[in-house]
Amino acid sequence: MRLAPACAMLLMLAPLPARAEDGPPALPPVVHLDEKAAVNEGLVITVAQPGHLVASLPVMTRVMPDAARVVHIHPAGTGKVVQVLVQPGQVVRRGDGLLRYQDHALHVARLQAIQLRAALAAAIAARDDAAGACARGQLLAGQTVSMAELRRRQDALAQAQATVRARQADVDTLGHRFAEEFNSSSEHDGTDETSTLIAPFDGTVITLDTSVAGDLAPAMDVATLADLSRVWLVSDLPPEQAVRVRPGGTQVTGTAQGAVTSRIDTVDGMASPLTGLVRVISAVPDPARRLMPGTVLDATLQTREDVSGIVVPATAVQEINGQSVIFRRIDGASYAPVVVTVALEEGGQAVVQGGLKGGEAIVGQGSFALRSVIGLAGMDAD
């Protein structure tokens, strides 16, 4: 029988031992392939090393804003939208305007401020009059002003001073409202009785739920702003898979720009009563904003399963007659097939057990050629 071109440089193959009873055909003790043929077939020799691999779990993960970095913008007052300044998806800086609205509450508050300042001015004037009358009474006490009149004037001064303090408290309270309610990290009042909702931090507009001439009220969630420089990668897993995931382990997520490696921060302690799934979250810094919320990506989660043995390239393992086989190099032209058990294959590597020792030279790539030699010899034997 003529050999296939891939094995044209085959030198010889040791005779096949007899087939074990009720078992797979026995492998030859040695396969011979001259050095030129090995080069043509792309054989690469590597060294088997003791080590371990950690199993990973393939999942679908979705990008979500970090819940601690999301703010919902509410107006301080009631009114109608005058101008919309942004659109969903737009990146804004702290202090940038989101929308302007005619603020009815601001109009009422400014009228109150005028009234309260007028009342304070009247109270101060009344106090000053009472203070003057009291001073004159003290100079004329026992002469033209009786002691009873002096006491009355002193009581009137005390009452006028209390009124001033009360009016001042009203003005201060309203001033605090202007400073904290109409002017805050998310709102700034204007001079024309309009208020502007502003971005409290650098971020991205996620939603904007109003339009020009729309009615606003303090209970309304008008806009949602998120800081997307750090996002969540969220995977929802069945409980039997979630228990395999190791908190603090590694998550690798594929994106159009390349793989993103992150730390598994949390694995929920119980399944959601709505979905029956357990949420796994990995927080990822993303200052370049490559990960957009709502995107679904392929990812792998590191598990608790750590397997030790001899670590070899996954390409070194060939399946022959239902057995996992690695070819150990004896010399430049001789290779011994070794039956092993593949305990774990992960990331282009495999952990094998049985029949192979650390430090042995093996065929790491191109071992399919040696497998073909065994297959051809088996056909000749038949």
Domain count, the chain: 3
Same domain, yes or no: 246 and 211: no
Same domain, yes or no: 243 and 127: no
Same domain, yes or no: 107 and 159: yes
Task: Decide which of 290 and 239 is more confident.
Answer: 239
Same domain, yes or no: 254 and 369: no
Q: How many CB atoms are closer than 10 A to CB 38? A: 21
What are 188's two structure tokens?
A: 């700034």
pTM of the model: 0.62
Same domain, yes or no: 137 and 14: no
Same domain, yes or no: 135 and 196: yes
Looking only at the bridges linking them, the beta strands covering 334-346 and 323-331 are antiparallel
Same domain, yes or no: 102 and 147: yes
- On the question of pLDDT at 381 being above 50, the answer is no
φ, ψ dihedrals at 89, nearest 5°: 95, -10
Domain end: 225, 245, 279, which one?
225
Residues contacting residue 56 through CB under 8 Å, at least 6 positions apart? 252, 300, 301, 302, 303, 346, 347
Same domain, yes or no: 202 and 249: no
CATH of the domain at 254: 2.40.30.170
Provide the mean pLDDT of the chain.
Answer: 88
Same domain, yes or no: 271 and 204: no
Same domain, yes or no: 95 and 217: yes
> What local confidence, expressed as pLDDT, does residue 299 receive?
97
> What local confidence, expressed as pLDDT, does residue 380 receive?
43
Give the tens place of pLDDT for each residue, 175-231. 877 776 777 888 888 777 888 999 999 999 999 999 999 999 999 999 999 999 999
CATH of the domain at 118: 2.40.50.100
Same domain, yes or no: 84 and 217: yes
Instruction: Please count the CA atoms within 13 angstroms of the CA of 199 that sit on its side-chain side.
Output: 25
Same domain, yes or no: 293 and 318: no
139-148, Cβ contacts within 8 angstroms, sequence gap of 24 or more: none
Supply the range of the domain harboring residue 295: 58-68+228-305
